[in-house]
């Protein structure tokens, strides 16, 4: 039997912390409820593009989802943390680092 992904458990806990049911999250993302269930059970993992939508839509800390470290939810003022994906806006980026 394949090992379950810890990402799914972290996703489930983060949604619970946000007060969002998996059924509602699936509907908002436009994915089948069964697919979302498999993600939260660690049976499969969402694509990175879907993880980005989850983070944006539900104020979830991407670092927590990927590593298990830090708080599951972002502080409200950091809600759009993924807006910092552009090279010149990324916090802490040194000139010429990329």
Domain annotation covers residue 95: no
The alpha helices in the chain, defined as continuous H runs, are 6-18, 22-29, 33-40, 48-58, 62-67
Sign of CA dihedral 83, 84, 85, 86: positive
**What six digits make up the tokens of 31?**
């994915």
- Which of these, 24, 32, 80, lies nearest to 52 by C-alpha position? 80
Q: What is the pTM of this model?
A: 0.73
Identify the CATH number of the domain in which residue 16 sits: 1.10.260.40
Structural domain count of the chain:
1
User: Cβ distance 39 to 48 under 8 Å?
Assistant: no
Q: How far apart are the first and last CA of the chain?
A: 40
Residue 96 lies in a domain: no
Query: In a structure prediction context, what are the per-residue pLDDT tens digits for the chain, which is 98 residues long?
Result: 568 889 999 999 999 999 999 999 999 999 999 999 999 999 999 999 999 999 999 999 999 999 999 999 988 765 555 554 444 444 444 444 43
């Amino acid at each position: 039997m394949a090992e379950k992904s810890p990402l799914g458990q972290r996703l489930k806990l983060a949604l619970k912390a946000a007060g969002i049911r998996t059924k509602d999250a699936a509907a908002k993302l436009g994915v089948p409820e069964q697919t979302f269930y498999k993600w939260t059970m660690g049976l499969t993992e969402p694509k990175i593009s879907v993880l980005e939508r989850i983070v944006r839509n539900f104020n979830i800390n991407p670092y927590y989802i990927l590593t298990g470290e830090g708080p599951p939810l972002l502080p409200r003022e950091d809600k759009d943390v993924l807006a910092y994906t552009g090279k010149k806006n990324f916090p802490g980026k040194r000139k010429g680092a990329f």
